[in-house]
Chains A and B, each alone.
Chain A
Amino acid sequence: MSVFDGLKFRKVYSPIHNLDPRMKFIYVIIIFAVAIIFNTIIPLLTLFLMQVPFVMLARVQKQWLRSLRGAMFLASFIFFINIATNFFTQGYTLNAKNIEDAATMTTRFLVLVESFSVFFLTTSPDHLGLALEQTKVPYEFSFAFTTAVRFVPVLAEEAQTIMDAQKARGLELEKGNFLKRIRNYVPVLIPLIVSAIRRSLELAEAMEARAWGATKKRTNLYALKFNKGDYVLLALTTGVLIVAVYTVLYVPVPTIRALLGVP
């Protein structure tokens, strides 16, 4: 069940992990917005490289590279679609401008992927649930969210057990054509759903027994607080936004082909 490995959050302590998830989220949104207002490659590349120190500080290089590799297929797709449309709409010529435009679009996509992945790689689901709670999202929603995350590995393990049990009884999962293979999974899915429902009833019972819903005003063991690091990130975010807006308005950003002198 390696598919679910990515959802297992491992507790790591780093200055980035300890940041307030709300501040990190604002940062990601600003990076998004800035990536969208620019359509030249140099600022986009700068944005891309700006995330690297975060990754290094959080020590999640490996996972980060893996998520980028995952995005490579879509990135190359974007690159070629751009080249192709430019090629067909601008007189069947392939020049430096076409390539640079396509590269710009691809970099923009990578900036989006990258900042999102940094956010999710460095924010524990617990923190995220807490952030949801403290931004006045009803507790039922954030509870559902954290419980779902909590039970992913449990259900994955259970699916594996059921698969093994059914295989031991002669079920062949990898046999037949595509449709047949999907149908092969029915004897795995039904017990899995039944047991998930049973599990949810037990959970509900345990929640009742621990005074679920006793007061309207539920409290929380943890509180999110703005620390020094969060103010630094706030300053950085504001800085990025100001510089970006100023550049868009007043600084003509050269293209790479202008710098190189290629027509």
Chain B
Amino acid sequence: MPIIETKNLSYTYPSASRPSIQDISIKVEKGEFVLITGPSGCGKTTLCRTFNGLIPHFYQGELKGEITVAGKNAAKQPTMEMAKHVGMVFQNPENQLFALSVEKDVAFGLENLGFDRKEMRERVNWALKLTGIYDLRERSPHEMSGGQQQRVAIAAVLAMQPEIIVLDEPTSFLDPLSAEKIFEVIYDLNQKLGLTVVLVEHRLDLTAKYANHIIIMDEGKICFDGKPREVLSKQETRLIGVGIPKATLLYEMLKKEGAKLGNTTPLCSKELADMVQEALK
């Protein structure tokens, strides 16, 4: 059974004239690393907000269709109930940390759920170690860099041990190097814990290699849904404002020029480099 399943999902924000997402039908399997991408304003964020019930509970508006997340009807369950299953990391790290110390922030969700102190402490330390910020636990979030803050936000949802973690452009406030580190942390969680990851991201150059499922959206609709290598090698994706990885583009150019390269589309420069080396032998 898919862990996230939507059927003909449409949603209109209150006082909006047309729906932000239309007829979305997707299936996400447990343990997948899903990448959602598409031009700005295509409804990626809106779709993510339906996963933990922020839509329709927090935003009101009109939600049609069916949505099942972790076996629950996300449109009916309140967000605080869904929060146990779906952890959500937002774009701006500054606006999702409330406490005056890192460990207190990581404990926030557990405190809300009423965990006892001993278990809370264990889970907080576990989450801090996994995200590599255990040494910063007594620092104040506002003294930290954006990358560190975003790690705190990830640790904070991780501590609640959800089955799914949804990250909505978690690196748009970060420099490329910190962004890369964040993606590594996320991939690590996906591999080690078997956590289902839904990542909304523009930078396919850095992320396509981690994903095993990619969804491309445009104007509130799903355009492509499938395996990254297949989807990204389609010519139609070039017409939508999607940042196809440079390695993939270069591979196509070389192919067109008649270079004898393998047939699997590369998703990152390392894969392409290996292919070229292989061809040069």
Contacts and interface: CB of A to CB of B under 8 A. Distances in A.
A193 to B, nearest CB: 16
Contacts of B101: 126
User: Which bracket fits the contact residues of A?
Assistant: 35 or more
B54 A150 contact: no
Contacts of B97: 150
A26 interface: no
A222 B81 CA distance: 24
Q: In terms of DSSP, what is the predominant structure of the interface of chain B?
A: helix
B52 interface: yes
Contacts of A232: none
Contact of A154 (B88, B114, B142, B160): B142
B275 to A, nearest CB: 41
Contacts of B80: 208, 211-214
B254 interface: no
Contact of B113 (A126, A149, A206, A214): A214
Nearest to A214: B80
Contact of B111 (A153, A203, A220): A220
Interface in A35-61: none
Interface residues of B, number: 44
B160 A202 contact: no
A215 interface: yes
B156 interface: yes
A246 to B, nearest CB: 42
B117 A212 contact: no
A124 interface: yes
A125 B157 CA distance: 24
A22 B18 CA distance: 55
Contacts of A213: 80, 112
Q: Which of B100, B103, B114 has the most CB of A within 10 A?
A: B100
Contacts of A146: 98-100
Q: 8 tightest CB-CB pairs across the interface, nearest first? A: A206-B96, A215-B114, A221-B107, A211-B83, A210-B109, A202-B95, A214-B80, A209-B88
Interface of B: 52, 54, 57-58, 79-81, 83-84, 87-88, 90, 92, 94-101, 103-104, 107-117, 120-121, 124, 138, 140-142, 156-157, 160
21 contacts: A129-B100, A150-B140, A150-B142, A154-B94, A203-B96, A205-B90, A206-B88, A208-B57, A208-B58, A208-B79, A209-B157, A211-B79, A211-B83, A211-B84, A211-B109, A211-B113, A213-B80, A221-B111, A221-B120, A221-B121, A222-B104
Given A211-B160, A213-B112, 19 more contacts: A124-B100, A126-B99, A126-B104, A146-B98, A146-B100, A150-B98, A150-B99, A202-B95, A204-B58, A208-B80, A209-B52, A210-B112, A211-B112, A214-B81, A219-B114, A219-B116, A220-B111, A220-B117, A223-B117
